[in-house]
Amino acid sequence: MLTEHEVLSTLNMLRNEHLDVRTVTLGINLFDCASHDFDMFAYKVRAKINKYASALVSVCNEVGACYGIPVVNKRISVSPIGVVGASFSRDQMVKACRVLDESAKLAGVDFLGGFGCLVEKGITPGERALIDSLPEALAVTDRICSSINVGSSRCGINMDAVDLMGHTILDVAAATADRDGIGCAKLVVFTNIPSDVPFMAGAYLGIGEPDVVINVGVSGPGVVKKAIDRAMERNPKLTLGEAAEVIKNTAYKVTRVGEIIGREVARRLKVPFGVADLSLAPTPAVGDSVGEIFQSLGLSSIGAPGSTAVLAMLNDAVKKGGSFASSHVGGLSGAFIPVSEDSSIEAATRSGALGLEKLEALTSVCSVGLDMIAIPGDTPAAAISGIIADEMAIGMINSKTTAVRVIPVPGKGVGEKASFGGLLGEAYIIPVPGGDSSAFIAHGGRIPAPIHSLKN
Amino acid sequence: METVVISVIGLDCPGVVYTVAETLAQANVNIEAMTQTILQGQFASIFVATLPDGVEQARIKEQTEAAIARRNMHLTVHIHAFEQNVSDKEPEESEPFVITVTGRDRPNVIASISKILFDHAVNIESLKAMLPTPEEDACLLVFEIALPVSVDRNAFRLTLLGKGEELGLEVSIQHRDIFEALHRISTI
C-alpha cells in the first residue's frame, strides 16, 4: 500500500509544481539513407523517419496518460546531415532541410534536430555547404534545429569555423528578420557536444549511437524551488549543505519520472532506451524557472554576487541525485540558463542585474552556455565570433559542454524586446561588451587542444 | 483442523491484539495471517486461524469475548468458517493503478466512483480517505485498484474524469509504479 506522503507528494509535484517530462526524443540514424542521388536520399529519409516516428507522439501521449505525467515535447534527432549529405551542394542542403521539416510535421513532433555538423578540426565540402545553407534552410523551415560543433577538449577550437559562424549567425538572423531573427533560436554553436542530447536546439544522433533510440530530457525547476521553499519554511536556518541535500533528493524524483516514462515509451516502440538527460529545463511559465531557485536560496535575483556559487551547487546536486535515479545518464545533464525561456532570468537581464559578462561566468559551472540571449542586430560578426571563441574556450579547458545560442535581433537595439513565441519566450536585448575582436578572429587556424587532452 | 476467520472490531486501546492472541494461543489456535487497522480511534482486525480438532468456533468466540470483557475493552468478536474463492475462472491479469479524487466532500463520492469500478469489474485493493488540507470539507480519496488488462484504459479514464467533472471533483488515474518510482529505491 502507498503511504499518505507518497500519494500527496506525487500529486503536489504534478498539480502545483510543473512536474513533467520536458522531451522524449527519438534518435534516428540516417547514415543508411546517404545517396549521391538526392531523390533517393529524400525517399529513404522520409521512409525511415516515418517508419520509426509515426507512432512516437501517440505512444508518448498514451504513456503520459498512464502515469499521469505529461510528456510536453516529442522530438526527433537525426545523424549529422553534414555527413549524411556529404556530397550535397548548398541548394541541395536547403532541399534536404525541407525534407526533414516535412517528415517532422508528418510525425507531429515540434522539433527535429541534427541539421548540423562537427567541424572542430576542419570543414569538409558537404559541411561547408550545410553551413552556407543555414540562412535559407532555417528561414524556409519551421521545425528544424541545427548544431555546429566547433571545438572539443581533444581537438582544440577551429577558429575558421568560429569566424564563419559569426557571419552565419548574422545571415540567419537577417533571413528571418521579420520574426526577430528566430532562425538563430534554432541554431547553436557547441564545443564538446554530446552525441545523445535530447534537448533542442542541440539534439542530434552521433556516430556510435544505435540505429534508433529513445533519449529523455527531464524537467523540474519548479519542483526543486518548491522543495527548497518547503525546507526553508520548516527550518529558516537551513544551511547550504542541507539545501543541497534537498536539491539532490528532488533531482532524484524528477529523474525517476523521466526514466520510467522513457523506458516505457522505448518498450512500446520496441527501440532501446538510451539516456536520461538530467537537466533542469525551465519554461517561460512562472513557477517553472531556474532563476527563481536563486531567489529561494537568498539572492535578490540571478546575477547578484554569489550566483555562480549557487549555480555550481545546484548543478552538482542535480547530477548527484539524478545519476542514482537513472540507469544511463547522458546529454547535457545540469541546469540550463536560457535567458528568453526563463521568466526570472529574463527579468534579471531586463533590470540590469545580469549581463553578458556574468552569464559567461555562470556558464563555467552550468551545463550548457550562453543560451537564448538577444543582442543588438548591429553586433559585428567578429564580436559574435569572439563571444563564441570565449565560450568554446571555457568548454575546452574545463572538459565540459558549452554552447552559444545568441540572437542578433535585426533592426533592434539594447532595451528593445524580441519575441520568439511559445517555449522560446521573449527577451530584452542586452548590450555586448565593447572592443574590437576582428583582428584576433581574422587570424583563423586552430587553437590547439589543451595539455590535458593528452590522456592516453 | 478447521480454518476460520475471526474479526475483532471496536474501540481501540493498548492490549487489544495481545488479549486476542493470548486467548487464541491458550486454546492452541494457530494464527496463519492477520491484519489490523485503526480509523478515527476505531480498531478493526481480521485473523485467519486454524482450530485444533474438537474445538468449536462458538467456544473460541466465548473465550475471546470473556477475555475482552475482563480487561474492560469495548470490542465485538465475530467468527466464521474460512471460505475459499471457488470460481473456476482464472483471475484475469491486471495492472495496479491508483485513482485519486480531490475536492469538496459530499455524500455520494465513494458510491459514484466505486460504481464505475464495479461496472468495469475492477477490484479495489485498498481505499483510503486522507485529509490533504486542514479545511474540514476537503476530501482526498485514494483507491488502489487492479485494472484488468481487458479494460480499455482510455475509455475507463474518460469515464472517471467525466464523473469527476459532473461531481465538481478532481479525479486522476495513474499507474501505481510512478508513485513507487518517485519515492522508493527499487529497479524500474
| pLDDT tens, residue by residue, A51-102 | 999 999 999 999 999 999 999 999 999 999 999 999 999 999 999 999 999 9
Digit-coded pLDDT (tens) for A354-394? 999 999 999 999 878 999 999 999 999 999 999 999 999 99
pLDDT score for A422: 81
* List of chain B residues whose C-beta atoms are within 8 Å of the C-beta of residue A253: 182-183
Task: Sort out which chain A residues have CB atoms less than 8 A from B35's CB and list them.
Answer: none
The whole-angstrom separation of Cα A138 and Cα A200 is 14
Sign for the CA dihedral angle at A201, A202, A207, A213 comes to negative
Ranges of each domain in chain B: 2-81, 94-183
Q: Number of CB pairs < 8 Å for A and B?
A: 77
Smallest Cα distance from B34 to chain A, Å: 16
pLDDT for position B133: 63
The answer to whether the CB atoms of A1 and B172 lie below 8 A apart is no
Nearest CA in chain A to B170: A15
* CATH number, domain B2-81, options 3.40.50.1360, 3.30.70.260, 1.10.8.80, 3.30.470.10: 3.30.70.260
Q: At what angle do helices A4-16 and A221-234 cross, to 10 degrees?
A: 120
CATH topology identical between B2-81 and B94-183 = yes
Of A1, A14, A260, the CB nearest to B177: A260
Interatomic CA distance for residues A45 and A102, integer angstroms:
11
Mean pLDDT value across chain A: 94
What pLDDT, in 10s, does the model give residues A227-268?
Answer: 999 999 999 999 999 999 999 999 999 999 999 999 999 999
Residue A2 to residue B130, Cβ atoms within 8 A: no
- As given in the structure block, the three cell numbers for residue A326 are 537513472
Q: Which residues pair with B41 in a beta bridge?
A: none
Q: Do B130 and A4 touch (CB under 8 A)?
A: yes
pLDDT category at A456 given cuts 50, 70, 90 is confident
pLDDT tens for residues A327-341? Answer: 899 888 878 899 999
- Alpha-carbon span B36 to B45, nearest angstrom: 4
Contacts of A256 in chain B (CB under 8 A): 181-182, 188
Inter-chain touch A67–B144, beta carbons under 8 Å: no
**Whole-number pLDDT of residue A19:** 84
Query: Residue A390 in contact with residue A363, Cβ under 8 Å?
Result: no
Closest CA to A404 of A187, A241, A226: A187
Identify the burial level of B54 via C-beta atoms within 10 angstroms of its C-beta, where 0-12 means exposed, 13-18 middle and 19 or more buried.
exposed
> Which of B140, B157, B188 is best to mutate for the A interface (most A CBs within 10 A)?
B188
**DSSP bridge partners of A148:** A117, A189
User: Is A13 in contact with B153 (Cβ distance < 8 A)?
Assistant: no
Query: Which candidate from A8, A253, A259 shows the least CB-CB separation from B132?
Result: A8
Best of B145, B179, B185 to mutate (most A CBs within 10 Å, chain A)? B179
Distances (CA, A) of A265 to A74, A77, A92, A323: 11, 16, 34, 20
Whole-number pLDDT of residue B100: 93
Q: Which of A6, A66, A263 sits opposite B179 (nearest CB)?
A: A6
Interface contact A257-B182, CB threshold 8 A = yes
User: Cα–Cα distance between A252 and A246 in angstroms, integer?
Assistant: 10
Residue A1 is nearest to which of B144, B172, B183, comparing CB atoms? Answer: B144
DSSP string, B129-162: EE-SSS-TTEEEEEEEEEEETTS-HHHHHHHHHH
The CB density around residue B114, as the number of other CB atoms within 10 Å, is: 17
Distance from CA of B80 to the nearest CA of A (A): 27
Contact (CB<8Å) A65/B179 = no
pLDDT, tens only, A202-238: 999 999 999 999 999 988 788 899 999 999 999 999 9
How do residues A156-175 score in pLDDT, each as one tens digit? 999 999 999 999 999 999 99
Candidates A62, A253, A327; nearest CB to B182:
A253
Q: What is the ipTM of this complex?
A: 0.82
Ramachandran angles phi, psi of B101, nearest 5°: -125, 120
Q: Cα(A280)–Cα(A174) distance, rounded to whole angstroms? A: 32
Per-residue pLDDT of chain B (188 residues; tens, 9 = 90+): 899 999 999 999 999 999 999 999 999 999 999 999 998 899 999 999 999 998 899 999 999 999 999 999 999 999 999 988 777 777 789 999 999 998 887 778 889 999 999 999 999 999 988 766 666 677 889 999 999 999 999 999 999 999 999 999 999 999 999 999 988 887 77
Interchain contact, B179 vs A69, CB within 8 Å? no
Asked if omega into A201 is within 30° of 0 (cis), the reply is: yes
What phi, psi does A223 have (nearest 5°)? Answer: -65, -40
Interface of B with A (CB under 8 A): 98, 100, 102, 126, 128, 130, 132, 140, 142, 144, 153-154, 157, 170, 172-184, 188
Within 8 A of B157 by CB-CB distance, chain A residues are 65
- Residue B136 pLDDT: 63
Q: Which fold, B94-183?
A: Alpha-Beta Plaits (3.30.70)
Option in B98, B130, B188 nearest A259 (CB): B188
Over range A417-443, report the average pLDDT: 92
**Per the structure block, which three cell numbers stand in for A87?**
556530397
Q: Are A23 and A38 in contact (CB under 8 A)?
A: no
